[in-house]
Structure 1
């Protein structure tokens, strides 16, 4: 069940709308399936206690890119003025003909949505036929490109964290399992674009798609940030699954196994000035958080969690 969080009202600035956040428990259980929504339990019901903007935004589905056999990227052009959101948040996404929204994590950066000339939002959606909004988005691109949708920003799993001043953080560790990379890539991009003086370490576990590493969601984007020194630190990739081709690491630090709590502890290093963001399947996230915050472990306020199931 989701934790009960503070109910907050959005603030409005001259440069666009922003979802303001009150003090929030850092371990924010935002019940999340691979597409955040199933017919058994609706996205709105599961996130009823989460903060969200009051207003709906008009967007146009401008572009669809196939990442691999199971995941697509969607670029949504904002039809209204630029907006402000916090890296890590999600969208209530209303598709044509369905009164119930799907919940999909924003993977673009806040700066992209605030661009005065061509503001946009980006989503990564895994194929999920039992989820009506995801199934609609997985129609033939030629049938839905150009469609108008309505969206609303929400969520409390964000960077920078609301309860810790940036000046008290020098080290950020991102731990992702599968599509749990989605909110974290928005946070990484935000750090890269804003030039925060932070050491960043990424542990990314993924099942290899048919294309091998080339098809791992956002891996090229993240690698480029490190290569171009927009992010300072290191990236470790942990792969599972059967891949018939040769794994081309392209100077990546690739481990053909699942990561462990010890891998994460090693990445954290000094606990007092670090924060950790963990997102992925519940079994993975629970083990990592318990391992980090157990006996004489990290302050729980410095471990942020979002899990899906």
Structure 2
């Protein structure tokens, strides 16, 4: 589940170089310290000529120098195909921003994994814990997590990525729309948890960054594939009107539980859903499979969303 951030079909002003055709773009809202890397083709569609491994695909992305040892201290099943790991981090200098990923080094496994962090920076600061949610796959690191990883297993981690939300106390308030497809929820859930921490800090201390409203649109085939649904419902209850979510189900066949029903829409995310959020102070974060990103990008362009307000993370 390696990741690379993209800006789809949009002009890119600065070529960074390299055979991978990766470009850097700059948001007008530089005070928010956002950045994204772009993979664009001539016709503006997302394509991959061959399958690259995580390190090759993200070679031009930012990486921290710190590599930390970590020990698996918790394992849970988020769904039938997704395993959630809690990792105790040993290096006190290890940090990350909400939305970033880790290089995942496994003793005895030559392939390096790339997994988006699904926990908040606040959890790492408070408890020294980082969480990952990994979908079952034949790729060696994911296969190891689902077949050999156990409590007490030791790995090493290095943070990377240019897709994140990291506002500072003096920055202007913004609203966020988060759009997730499948396991693309991982970095967006990290951002959502970070936003909850920002709200909590401001309510408790009376200062800190003033966060605008956040709307999450999360699309999956059915409720069995919804990750973190209990947590997301809890965040909506904890911050009513500040954090809201719509679960979009494209192939639901069974009855939807009563708790989820008020928040469910059957069918894909549409122009009607997103059009009500267009404003000059709204930022849009999207993560999911490449065809979904391309479709949502075109939709946002058609409804007048400024290009420098849209950020992408592509997963494979």
TM-score, normalized by length of structure 1?
0.80
Q: Give how far 1:161 is off.
A: 6.6
Q: Give how far 1:261 is off.
A: 3.2
Q: Give how far 1:68 is off.
A: 1.4
Map of 2:164 onto structure 1: 158
Match of 1:281 among 289, 299, 302: 289
Alignment of 1:1-309 (within 5 A): 3-5=22-24, 25-26=35-36, 28-29=38-39, 40-81=51-92, 83-115=94-126, 118-129=127-138, 131-139=139-147, 144-160=150-166, 166-167=171-172, 169-195=173-199, 196-208=210-222, 212=223, 216-229=226-239, 232-243=242-253, 245-250=254-259, 252-266=262-276, 268-269=277-278, 271-294=279-302, 297-309=304-316
Give the gaps of 5 or more residues in structure 1: 7-20, 31-38
Deviations 1:6-31, CA, capped at 9 Å, x for gaps: 9xxxxxxxxxxxxxx9976546459x
Indicate how the Cα distance of structure 1 residues 219 and 264 shifts in structure 2: closer, same or farther if over 3 A, else same. same
Q: What is the number of residues matched between the two proteins?
A: 271
CA distance in 2, matches of 1:240, 1:42: 30
TM-score, normalized by length of structure 2?
0.78
CA contact (8 A) 1:25 1:301 kept: no
CA distance in 2, matches of 1:112, 1:2: 35
Give the gaps of 5 or more residues in structure 2: 1-19, 26-30, 41-49, 200-209
Q: Give how far 1:157 is off.
A: 0.5
Deviations 1:173-198, CA, capped at 9 Å, x for gaps: 00111111100000010010111431
User: Secondary structure of the residue that 1:50 maps to in structure 2?
Assistant: coil
Q: Give how far 1:49 is off.
A: 0.4
CA contact (8 A) 1:173 1:201 kept: yes
